[in-house]
Structure 1
Amino acid sequence: MTTPKYLQIAERIRTECGTLHEGAQLPAEQELAAAYRASPMTVRRALDLLQEQGVVTRIPGRGTFVRHGIISKSSALTSFTEDITMRGMTPGTRVLGVDEVTPTSEVSRDLSLGRTELVLQLERLRFADDEPICLEVAHVPQRYAKALGDSALVSLHRGLASIGLAPDSATRRVHAAIVTDRQATLLGVPPGSPTLNIIQVFFDERGRPIQRSNACFRADRYETYSRVRRAENHPPTEETE
């Protein structure tokens, strides 16, 4: 199968960005289109992808600039491993703890658990190129834990997919926080550093909640990115213009 043109161009631009300094400005879209023998729309699609992946920053009216060091999480449903790999880095995981526990009320609610149902709790420190990026606590209903076995330690999403519970959709909540002393030590950041806490609940294709994760991300290395548009039935008013 032939790789789509915009993906080929995105990969070539990504390689070029790796040779440039932070903040370097890329040629205009028309120039890139001519250089890669593609339409401006195809180049724009490639740049949109690279912006979602944190490789470039696009500033309206100014241009496109190289960006290093920030991992940008788009609205697409992807795992941490996929996010890091797409950015040309090597993902890594250190398992800090695995146990079957009684869930908190929040975990029980999000996973639609019965009153006496337990959960598999998995705590992991996640890395990008050997640098700690994220401290994550994941919960899976106990009824799936035995089927998962040791596969949960390697890749939780892959393990769920192997038993017919591939994550198909998710909800995501993001809030700002300050690291605890333990988080600061594990993530290698100074005490009092800001973090992005991202709580996600994953559902299979039948809409059943199959996993909940509460992840603490370094705010100096991670951000969330999404594209939004105004609803057709909510035109701008004088107050919002």
Structure 2
Amino acid sequence: MSKEKPIYIQIHNKIRKMIEEGQWKVGERIPSERDLAKTFEVSRMTLRQAVQTLVDEGILERKVGSGTYVSSRKVQEKMTGIQSFTEIMLSQGRKPTSKTISYHVKPASISEAEHLRLQNETVVLRMERVRFADDVPICFEVATIPFHLVESLGKKEITLSLYKTLEEEKNIHVRRAEQTISAMLASERISEYLDIKRGEAILQLKQITYSNDNEPFEYTRTQYVADRFEFYLEK
């Protein structure tokens, strides 16, 4: 090896190149430090220093008791402005898809009626969906919409992109949203949908979305996989 750069930097560069060339894919565990040290014919201390540099750069991530993995670039949602899940994915070069878990028209619960300013037991559409980015489950979403707003629309139109459909078919535009974020642990049901372990950390977003006439038209409760999604603020 060349003596122009420290050995650990040379190892760092080699591992990074291997990742860029697809030898280890996003989310895949790399070989153990012992095996990599043998591969590169260096001490484990040198190898560990190279790997730690890659971890610090966000290229690799350590998981306690599991190993070291190629980091997944998290989906980001900017906490200023309002975008649909589909718009967020497309803006980041991801392929958005959804799987509808349930789709029911029924009287609003007390909580739904309160958040949407409806009379108790007003009929609403409540749908549950798992949302994916490049076929990786990102979140489990429960959305409630006053039924009279979507009564004439088809299920396919609504589940594919609600905001776009309301804008094109009903001239309902998103004006603003109220959002509350909290941390919680995944239930057994949610963990199965999101392909994570029960009790794993997730982020819950509750959002009330308002139309151009400042009326609430959607109440969502969304649970995101914490290591696949992040929110950020921009001042």
| TM-score, scaled to structure 1 | 0.65
Three-state SS of the structure 2 residue aligned to 1:148 is: coil
- Name stretches of at least 5 consecutive residues in structure 2 with no aligned partner: 1-18, 23-56, 59-70
Shift of 1:116: 3.3
The answer on whether the counterparts of 2:110 and 2:120 sit within 8 Å (CA) in structure 1 is: no
Residue 215 (structure 1) aligned to one of 207, 222, 230: 222
The answer on whether the counterparts of 1:148 and 1:163 sit within 8 Å (CA) in structure 2 is: no
- After alignment, is 126-135 or 137-146 more displaced? 137-146
The answer on whether the counterparts of 2:203 and 2:226 sit within 8 Å (CA) in structure 1 is: yes
Shift of 1:68: 4.8
* Inter-CA distance 20–78: structure 2 relative to 1 (3 Å threshold): farther
Aligned to 1:187: 194
Distance in 2 of aligned mates of 1:103 and 1:136? 17
- 1:204 equivalenced with 2:214 (yes/no): no
Aligned to 2:74: 70
Shift of 1:19: 5.7
The answer on whether the counterparts of 1:102 and 1:118 sit within 8 Å (CA) in structure 2 is: yes
Distance in 2 of aligned mates of 1:110 and 1:210? 9
Aligned to 1:25: none
Three-state SS of the structure 2 residue aligned to 1:159 is: helix
Residue 105 (structure 2) aligned to one of 100, 104, 112: 100
Q: In the TM superposition, what whole-angstrom CA distance separates every residue of 1:87-138 from its partner, at most 9, and x where no partner exists?
A: 1110111111110122222211110001231110011110000000010010
The answer on whether the counterparts of 1:124 and 1:136 sit within 8 Å (CA) in structure 2 is: yes
Structure number with bigger Rg:
2
| TM-score, scaled to structure 2 | 0.67
The answer on whether the counterparts of 1:147 and 1:163 sit within 8 Å (CA) in structure 2 is: no
Equivalent residues, number:
168
Residue 81 (structure 1) aligned to one of 83, 86, 91: 86
Distance in 2 of aligned mates of 1:160 and 1:212? 15
Distance in 1 of aligned mates of 2:106 and 2:227? 32
- Provide runs of 4+ in structure 1 moved above 3 Å: 18-21
- 1:126 equivalenced with 2:126 (yes/no): no
Q: In the TM superposition, what whole-angstrom CA distance separates every residue of 1:168-196 from its partner, at most 9, and x where no partner exists?
A: 21111100011110100110001110110
Give the percent of matched residue pairs that are identical in Structure 1 and Structure 2.
25
Q: In the TM superposition, what whole-angstrom CA distance separates every residue of 1:14-53 from its partner, at most 9, and x where no partner exists?
A: xxxx9699xxxxxxxxxxxxxxxxxxxxxxxxxxxxxxxx
Q: In the TM superposition, what whole-angstrom CA distance separates every residue of 1:200-234 from its partner, at most 9, and x where no partner exists?
A: 11111110111111101000111111134xxxxxx
- After alignment, is 202-211 or 100-109 more displaced? 100-109
Shift of 1:158: 1.4
Aligned to 1:155: 161
Q: Tell me the C-alpha RMSD between the 2 structures.
A: 2.2
